[in-house]
Amino acid sequence: MTAGGGPGKRPPDRVRTRPVVRSDNTGGMRSGHLARARERDIELWITVFPGTEGVYELMLKGSRLPNGNSCWAQASGAKELSAAMHRLRKEWETQIHKRRRRTPKDDRATWQPFFHEVDLTRTRFDPWQDMLPALARAGRDTFDMLFADRGAGSPMAALRKELHGLLCRPVRPDPGHPSGTDPGYRITVRPRNFFAPWPLLCVPPPESEKPDKHWFLGYRHQIEVRTWDNDNVPVQIPVRPDGRPRVAAIVDHTLDEDLAEGSTFAPVRSALHGRAVLEEYESHERVEELLRDAPADLHFLYLSCHCDYSDEDGPLLYLNRYRENAQQLGFREAASWGTGPSTPKMALLNTCRGGRPTQRKGRGFVDGLKGIGWFSALAAPETEVPVRFLGDYGKRFFDGFLDDGPEGGVDVGTLVQEMAREFLDERGNPLALLYCVHRNLETHLCREEQCPMTHGRHQ
């Protein structure tokens, strides 16, 4: 059900346009069985009304707003905004590709740092500093366009001022955080008929003129995108006390052909060794088997394969993409997986553009996964990611997610932000900023005795 009227009709009033539908696809797991997401510091609702000359509505709420107030505004230009989001993604991909140098051994050969290295502090030049001005400018201009000031005293001006003040709060030292600074706010974005690479948007402080890593929302704050209405999925993924997490990995080993040496999946397999039960799926038949007969206690889905993107179909995943036996993983295959009750799960779609939605109703494998109610969270990149980076990101993700502390594993929101900061601060590599969390920031593994209530549903 979509909001808004037909062509030429005025958008519904403020109260009626707020999304209020709540669906329950949790396989019978109601509130009280497992912990749910906490109240957010900031919630941003954005709705584009079809057939209204590009009218869109913004609503800002959250615990950090004074007295629990909310701000609301309407504007036009949704088509131009979508084009700006496309340009922002394209700017990142262009900057990643254009960083190149001649190799010292053969000046006729081209060396591209993002396609050959992960630790860029070892290179003879700094690719991040070279590309930072263009990326910061593109992210800032896109944010400014979304919240364009309509004049002093207008609802949009008030909303922009409130949001800008929250997003630009001073960065405080935090010795307990791996990056040495506080993690910022936890932000939920709830878009309807609108999609944006939220971690890549930039909000410079008023006095800041020189581009800085703290401008990027994905570095400064923790962001989740809820592109469907479901607040009932548990954030805890229970694991039996005597067992290890079960991981299903859909892997295309032809990715390794893009590497000078090594394997894309080997680092991930190493991180899982002795800590999880791993099952690899490398053919269309095996994937069909997984979707048809997945074990009830499967905890994690990992994807590492080719991904093409089209405006019509969204992200389309392939096995053996450039071979005669190339096989596409379709929407129906994924959607059929969610027909029965199951435990909450986590997914890392470690593929190019895996997190980018289609402007129309999705027909790809990723869109099918997003429609499955019992996925507690998914993490995926917004743009193309060089193959060389996938293995290191996957290994670091599992190293953190499977870390079994006294309160359970680290939550995915903290982990994705830690990795964005760590890869950039310690390795000079900004590619981890491309990854975004969908659905629940708090999703984490926990032993069944640590979960508040399981009632034997996950036996």
Lowest mean pLDDT among 289-303, 329-343, 375-389: 329-343
- Domains along the chain with CATH numbers: 14-76+147-225 (no CATH), 81-134 (no CATH), 236-447 (3.40.50)
Nearest to 432 by CA among 417, 412, 414, 410: 417
Give pTM, 2 decimals: 0.86
Give me the mean pLDDT over the 252-268 stretch. Answer: 89
Give the per-residue pLDDT at 20. 26
Give the per-residue pLDDT at 174. 77
Higher pLDDT, 75 or 229: 75
Higher pLDDT, 400 or 361: 400
46-65 tens-digit pLDDT: 999 887 778 999 999 999 98
Give me the mean pLDDT over the 350-359 stretch. Answer: 74
Residue 251, SS3 per DSSP? strand
Give the per-residue pLDDT at 314. 63
- What's the token pair of residue 87? 């340009």
- What's the token pair of residue 380? 């995926």
Give the per-residue pLDDT at 6. 35
Give the per-residue pLDDT at 105. 55
Give me the mean pLDDT over the 438-450 stretch. Answer: 85
Higher pLDDT, 354 or 247: 247
pLDDT band at 23 (very low <50, low <70, confident <90, very high): very low
> What is the C-alpha to C-alpha distance for residues 364 and 25, in angstroms, rounded to an integer?
20
pLDDT over threshold 90, residue 356: no
309-336 tens-digit pLDDT: 766 666 677 888 777 777 777 656 666 6
Higher pLDDT, 5 or 42: 42
Give the per-residue pLDDT at 423. 96
Give the per-residue pLDDT at 30. 32
> What is the C-alpha to C-alpha distance for residues 130 and 128, in angstroms, rounded to an integer?
5
Give the per-residue pLDDT at 333. 61
Quote the percentage of the chain above a pLDDT of 90: 39
Give the per-residue pLDDT at 39. 78
C-beta neighbour count of 308 within 10 angstroms: 16
Nearest to 240 by CA among 298, 302, 301: 298
Rg (CA), the chain: 22
Quote the percentage of the chain above a pLDDT of 70: 75
Give the per-residue pLDDT at 112. 84
121-150 tens-digit pLDDT: 987 788 999 999 999 999 999 999 999 876
| Cα angle value 411/393/205 (rounded, 5°) | 70
Give me the mean pLDDT over the 407-432 stretch. Answer: 91
pLDDT over threshold 50, residue 11: no
pLDDT band at 93 (very low <50, low <70, confident <90, very high): very high
- Alpha-helical segments (H) within 25-149: 78-98, 113-116, 127-146
Average model confidence (pLDDT) across the chain: 79
Half-sphere exposure of 124 (CA within 13 A, CB side): 7
CB 381 within 8 A of CB 393: no
| Cα angle value 205/210/211 (rounded, 5°) | 80
390 burial type by CB count under 10 A (0-12 exposed, 13-18 middle, 19+ buried):
buried
pLDDT over threshold 60, residue 355: yes
Give the per-residue pLDDT at 3. 34
